[in-house]
Amino acid sequence: MKETENNKLVAYVLGDLSEKEQQEMDRLVRESPALQQEVADLKMVLGEIDQEPEIQPSRYSRDQFFQYLEMEAKNDHRAVNEKNHRLSWWAAAAVALVVIGVGFGVMLQNHSRQEAQIQRLSSEVVETRKLLLLAMLDDASASERIQAMNVSARDYQQDDRIVSALVDRLEKDENENVRMKAAEALGNFLPQEGVTEAMIRALELESSPEVQIMLIESLVSGGRKEAVPSLQRLLDREDVPEVVRNVAAYGLETMI
């Protein structure tokens, strides 16, 4: 078959021909077993293309996007502030000229409404990102959870939900690396209520030496004296590896 005929057959299979041409091809195909085979082959290849699996984007890339959007919302907010600043000069001029006091009031109201709207938008983006982060902390993949720990430690010092999600990971995550990361991240939130207690509790229960060491280091570098009795108890525990006990002993020295 010539190239043009081949391409026409593809057009036929895709339904790209005019109705008349389509019917004409129907007839040709019906009469020719060779063409029938061609059509079957094309359909097979098209079926293969359509079955190609897709990749799933990581939650981390979503977080990055929301982070960007959040930044952009803040920039917008700043731009509006500047605009308001400039406009207030105009407003002052208007007052000086004693045009209409009422008009001035309306204008200010408009701008504060606009600002409120943008503020709300900006906080909405922040909120969305927090929800995303909470979802990441609960993701099935350990690497997603670890990424989330890094972001949490960096950005969200104030949020109780994130702190309690981190505590939850520290206490319950089956992956040692995730628990270790959680211990590290929580080191940033030590002054927050309940965090030190949760870390001390985890230290008593934790069996992985890596996580134990991270907990000790976080507590010690945060100067949490409440941890002293717990560290002392650790020194007497025979099930705890020597390396961990050394770290605890060193920590006690620096704290007492």
Residues of this chain that bind another protein (CB under 8 A):
3, 6-11, 14, 16, 41-42, 45-46, 48-58, 61-62, 64-66, 68-69, 72-73, 76, 118, 120-122, 124-125, 127-128, 131-132, 135, 138-141
Non-local (6+) Cβ contacts of 165 within 8 A are 134, 137, 138, 152
Q: Least distance from C-beta 1 to another protein, angstroms?
A: 10
Residue 72 or 197: which CB sits closer to another protein? 72
Residue 6 or 246: which CB sits closer to another protein? 6
H helix or E strand, kind and range, residue 26: helix 19-31
Q: Least distance from C-beta 11 to another protein, angstroms?
A: 5
Residue 25 or 213: which CB sits closer to another protein? 25
Q: Whose CA is closest to 180, among 166, 164, 194, 198?
A: 166
Q: How far apart are CA 86 and CA 82, in angstroms?
A: 6
Q: Least distance from C-beta 218 to another protein, angstroms?
A: 29
Q: Least distance from C-beta 175 to another protein, angstroms?
A: 14
Non-local (6+) Cβ contacts of 108 within 8 A are 91
Q: How far apart are CA 179 and CA 201, in angstroms?
A: 13
Residue 11 or 35: which CB sits closer to another protein? 11
Q: How far apart are CA 252 and CA 225, in angstroms?
A: 9
Residue 63 or 206: which CB sits closer to another protein? 63
User: For residue 206, what are the CA distances in angstroms to 143, 199, 237?
Assistant: 21, 10, 13
Q: Least distance from C-beta 192 to another protein, angstroms?
A: 25
Q: Which two tokens stand for residue 232?
A: 């002392």
